[in-house]
Amino acid sequence: MSRKQQLLKRHRRNKRIALSIGLALLLLAGILVAWWLPLVLAVLGWLAHEAWFADHLFYSPQDDYAYQLQADEQLSLQLSESRLNLPQSLVLDDKDTLILKVRLTSSWLGRLFDPGVRMLGGTADCQDFERGVRGVRYLNLTGQQAALKDSKLTLVGRFCRLDPEVELFVLRHPDYLAKRVLVVAPHADDAELAAFGLYSQAAQSWIVTLTAGEIEAEHYRQMGLEGVEAARLKGSLRAWDSISVPLWAGVPQERCVQLGYFCLQLAAMQAAPAESFGSREADMADTRPFRRFNRLSLASDADGVPSWQNLVRDMVELIEHIQPQVIVLPHPHFDPHPDHVCAQQAVLEALSRTGSQPETLLYYANHLHDNDRWPMGRAGCGVALPPQLATQAPLRPWALSILPQRQWHKAMSLGMMHDLQPPPPFKRKIRRLIQRYLAARHWPAFGENEFFRKAVRQHELFWVDEKPSKREEV
């Protein structure tokens, strides 16, 4: 069981205990006060839960985030009348990544509405945090260089207060967009969610998708298909998506590869590398049907065996063929999805077996262990650093600024992905309606899936590894 599953299990257990206590109190109120009182209180309690307590937040909003950032420059500063004034000796490049360490204290309204920090005087932005926040957080000021140089950037708390003592981290990076980039996606849509802005601008981009993503095909069963047929159709559609959607960003079919392994089977494959692991739902044990859209042939096409050995050999063959200067892949610490963790490990194992080495690894996170809402706030806003409650190894973030027009193009690419098209369940629609009117939360008009809010942002955030000789699990 993954850490996220353990946290979710504990969260649900605590909810059941709280519900049992609440029901007992309601029954007592009905006996001692009036028969109708439990009904009224139950409705009010349900509304309060949906509006303010339904988030999966597996830590206290009063916990400090703990980062050890590998910055090129680090400055202790003071906010003066909410304005951030930099020393004239500091030279900023437009491509620098700028992270500001702040301490936030939520107001009482910040327990009902999402507290955040508005950025005025430069590119309009508001980066939200947990309700009831009280602790250290990390704002992303990347893209605000012009306003900072002119001392025009103002930081204003919305439903929270900023401590005037702040710390600025300046991280300078080479131009990754000028490189040959390989994006490794465990499933169709992972490349778009994490790196559409990157791969749509890079000098040359390749996208390799590891699995067909055929399971959990309820949407297709509702159309009248049986379980196996529904899973096969979903896998075929997502295989098609992985090859065709990048064309929207200018990546030709020749540079997109679907490997056709089966969803949520990578961990089992890794545990028994020589064994074959077929689909859980599609009654298939051959990767070749989901590879039929590929223009590039691979040695494992000869047998189509879904094994870890074949997956690693595929990655070695692709790396040696592409010769990527930058590989973009999931971060195993921030992103707990088992297929994402295995995707990273397959890449590292492949790199250990080939002399073709990239200059840089860029890690991304599309899922988190302990906060299902990150990045918090509305679509179109910036991406603050994710929660990290204990200092891990030193980290070096890189934030790519995404202009509004490219954000729209990214939103349209997500809209083409079949897995993001089905409407949310009725319960989630009701919850969003309640949160809109009671908690002032808003969702974008271009898609109902939660990833449209999370991924269409002013930044794409990556974690940089530039130590080719010391590539181990980060």
Task: Tell me the per-residue pLDDT of 252-286, one tens digit each, with 9 for 90 and over.
Answer: 999 999 999 999 999 999 999 999 999 999 999 99
The per-residue pLDDT for 219 is 95
- Looking at residue 24, its pLDDT comes to 74
For residue 474, pLDDT over 80 is answered with no
Tens of pLDDT, residue by residue over 325-342, are: 999 999 999 998 999 999
Higher-confidence residue: 6 or 89? 89
Q: Please give the Cα distance from 317 to 350 (Å, whole number).
A: 9
**In one letter, which amino acid is 161?**
R
The per-residue pLDDT for 8 is: 60
The mean pLDDT of 203-231, rounded to a whole number, is 97
Phi, psi at 3, each rounded to 5°: -60, -40
Most distant pair of Cα atoms in the chain: their distance: 77
DSSP strands (E only) in 180-238: 180-185, 204-211
Q: Collect all residues with Cβ–Cβ distance below 8 Å to 364 and sequence separation of at least 6.
A: 194, 195, 328, 329, 330, 331, 335, 460, 461, 462, 463
Provide the total of helices (H) and of strands (E) in the chain, helices listed first.
12, 16
Instruction: Evaluate if residue 4 carries a pLDDT over 90.
Output: no
CA distances from 97 to 39, 50, 384, 405, 457 (A): 53, 37, 12, 21, 16
* CATH hierarchy code of domain 73-171: 2.60.120
CB 274 within 8 A of CB 309: yes
Share of residues in the chain with pLDDT > 90 (%)? 84
Confidence label for 248 from pLDDT (cuts 50, 70 and 90): very high
- Fold entry, domain 177-367+403-456: Rossmann fold (3.40.50)
In the chain, pLDDT over 70 holds for what percent of residues?
95
Predicted pLDDT at 379 = 97
Distance (Å, rounded) from C-alpha 460 to C-alpha 116?
A: 19
Q: Are 331 and 344 in contact (CB under 8 A)?
A: yes
Whole-angstrom CA distances from 216 to 23, 50, 220, 221 are 34, 25, 9, 10
**Range of lowest pLDDT (208-217, 347-356, 366-375):** 366-375
pLDDT digits (tens, 9 = 90+) for 394-453: 999 999 999 999 999 999 999 999 999 999 999 999 999 999 999 999 999 999 999 999
**C-alpha to C-alpha distance for 121 and 91, rounded to whole angstroms:** 19
Residues 242-251: what's their mean pLDDT? 98
Phi-psi region of 82 (alpha: psi -120 to 50; beta: other; left: phi over 0): left
pLDDT of 5 higher than 70: no
Q: What is the mean pLDDT of the chain?
A: 93
Give the pLDDT of residue 369.
81
Q: Considering only CA atoms, which of 371, 454, 251 is closest in space to residue 7?
A: 371
Q: Which residue has the tokens 């859980």?
A: 280
363, 474 in Cβ contact below 8 A? yes
Least trusted range by pLDDT, from 39-43, 94-98, 461-465: 39-43
- Mark out the alpha helices in 217-272 (DSSP H runs): 218-221, 227-244, 266-271
Residue 86 token pair: 């930099």
Q: What does the pLDDT read at residue 421? A: 96
> CA nearest 142: which of 88, 82, 95, 77?
95
pTM (2 decimals)? 0.93
Cβ atoms of 96 and 144 closer than 8 Å? no
As a whole number of angstroms, the distance between CA 160 and CA 107 comes to 5
Return the half-sphere exposure (C-beta side, CA atoms, 13 A cut-off) of residue 67.
25
Contacting residues for 402 by C-beta, under 8 A, at least 6 apart: 197, 410, 457, 458, 459, 460
Instruction: Tell me the average pLDDT across 183-207.
Output: 98
pLDDT beyond 80 at 27:
no
For the chain, domain boundaries: 3-53, 73-171, 177-367+403-456
